[in-house]
């Protein structure tokens, strides 16, 4: 089995970005989005994230596996959340007058036998808006997260972390992990073959859950112990070539351009403004400064 990163070598504005910019954008946006459930705010973020994603020139055929996973997870989260919480809407939303659209038949727990009874589950304008907002929030974060693996060469990882102020040694350890990864995967595959040749069938593990888990040991133990014991030689190899004696230089370099600095500045400023607005929202109970604390129900849904 060959290890394949999903990285796709291509020239796009996002490929050209400094990897630190991509990480900063993801963090700044997700941390901003945590602070509000305002439909319009999230819609703006969603639109921006789609634009950003379009710039990557990634094709559906390349990314579909990741997207299937994201769609599945988002679906589960949004709907499970809706039903488990009984349609509750999280965070400071004006729920004084819910606008009920229709009722869903549902079941709820009761104290008496058979402990389950039918009930009505109100579906409101507010909960519809919330579900929409929540879906857009998850997808907008995904639109910023997916480009990181697909447009960043893993070779640049170590130096990117170094550039974010992480120490030489830890940053280098990231590069080194990527060097070990294909060897590790090869070893796991070899071990699995070796054990299959001894009648081991990983798809037909016997026993209960505990027995099954214990029967995974033949594929894990040889590789882990082998690498740990073999690490002594790697340590020697690194010491003999002076690793860790002082400040090191890096052959790989990041080309930070003005656009990178501008985006980072904008992202951090945006995050600061959102945070300020969020804090102010606690003091002003109405008006524009309270906006992040409202749901901002769009007109077409408004009753």
Interactions with other proteins, residue window 33-52 (CB under 8 A): 33-34, 37
- Cα→Cα distances 157→58, 147, 281, Å: 20, 14, 38
- Cα→Cα distances 135→23, 39, 43, 64, 90, Å: 22, 11, 10, 18, 14
Q: Please tell me whether residue 302 binds other proteins under the rule CB under 8 A.
A: no
Identify which of 10, 53, 257 has the alpha carbon closest to the alpha carbon of residue 146.
53
Q: Please tell me whether residue 255 binds other proteins under the rule CB under 8 A.
A: no
User: Which of these segments, 70-78, 102-110, 118-126, 266-274, binds other proteins (CB under 8 A)?
Assistant: 70-78
- Cα→Cα distances 19→73, 148, 233, 296, Å: 26, 8, 32, 34
Q: In angstroms, how far is the first alpha carbon of the chain from the final one?
A: 57
Number of Cβ atoms within 10 Å of the Cβ of 128: 15
Number of Cβ atoms within 10 Å of the Cβ of 195: 16
Residue among 100 and 215 whose Cβ is closer to other proteins: 215
Distance CA 278, CA 271 (A): 10
Residue among 118 and 246 whose Cβ is closer to other proteins: 246
Task: Give, for 296, the enclosing helix (H) or strand (E).
Answer: none
Distance CA 122, CA 99 (A): 9
Residue among 55 and 200 whose Cβ is closer to other proteins: 200
Residue among 129 and 287 whose Cβ is closer to other proteins: 129
Tokens of 3: 């290890």
Q: Which of residues 178-237 bind other proteins (CB under 8 A)?
A: 178-185, 187-203, 205, 209-210, 212-214, 216-218, 220-237
- Alpha carbon 27 to its chain's center: 10
Q: State which of residues 59, 169, 257, 261 lies at the interface with other proteins (CB under 8 A).
A: 169
Site residue total, other proteins (CB under 8 A): 118
Residue among 212 and 257 whose Cβ is closer to other proteins: 212
Residue among 103 and 193 whose Cβ is closer to other proteins: 193
The C-alpha angle 289, 291, 294, rounded to 5 degrees, equals 140
Q: Mark residues 72-101: x for contact with other proteins by CB under 8 A, - for none.
A: ----xx--xx--xx--x-xx----------
Q: Mark residues 102-131: x for contact with other proteins by CB under 8 A, - for none.
A: ----------------------------x-
User: Which of these segments, 116-124, 144-152, 258-266, 277-285, binds other proteins (CB under 8 A)?
Assistant: 144-152
Distance CA 231, CA 275 (A): 46
Residue among 113 and 197 whose Cβ is closer to other proteins: 197
Q: Please tell me whether residue 248 binds other proteins under the rule CB under 8 A.
A: yes
User: Which of these segments, 28-36, 99-107, 256-264, 276-284, binds other proteins (CB under 8 A)?
Assistant: 28-36
């Amino acid at each position: 089995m060959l290890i394949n990163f999903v990285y796709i070598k291509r020239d796009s504005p996002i490929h050209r970005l400094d990897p630190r910019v991509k990480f900063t954008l993801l963090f700044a946006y997700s941390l901003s989005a945590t602070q509000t459930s305002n439909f319009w705010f999230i819609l703006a973020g969603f639109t921006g994230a789609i634009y950003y994603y379009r710039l990557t020139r990634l094709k559906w055929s390349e990314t579909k596996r990741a997207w299937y996973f994201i769609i599945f997870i988002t679906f589960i989260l949004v709907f499970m959340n809706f039903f488990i919480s009984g349609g509750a809407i999280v965070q400071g939303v004006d729920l004084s007058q819910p606008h009920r659209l229709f009722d869903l038949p549902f079941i709820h727990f009761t104290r008496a036998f058979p402990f389950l009874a039918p009930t009505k589950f109100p579906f409101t304008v507010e909960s519809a808006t919330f579900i929409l907002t929540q879906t857009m929030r998850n997808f907008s974060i995904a639109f910023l997260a997916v480009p990181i693996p697909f447009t960043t060469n893993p070779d640049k990882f170590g130096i990117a972390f170094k550039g974010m102020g992480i120490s030489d040694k830890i940053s280098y350890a990231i590069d080194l992990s990527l060097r070990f990864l294909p060897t590790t995967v090869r070893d796991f595959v070899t071990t699995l073959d070796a054990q299959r040749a001894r009648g081991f069938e990983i798809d037909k593990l016997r026993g209960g859950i505990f027995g099954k888990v214990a029967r995974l040991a033949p594929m894990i133990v040889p590789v882990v112990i082998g690498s740990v014991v073999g690490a002594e030689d790697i340590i020697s190899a690194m010491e003999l070539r002076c690793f860790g004696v002082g400040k090191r230089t890096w052959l790989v370099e990041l080309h930070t351009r003005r656009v990178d600095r501008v985006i980072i500045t904008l992202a951090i400023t945006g995050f600061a403004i959102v945070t300020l607005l969020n804090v102010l929202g606690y003091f002003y109970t109405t008006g524009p400064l309270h906006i992040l604390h409202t749901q901002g129900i769009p007109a077409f849904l408004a009753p």
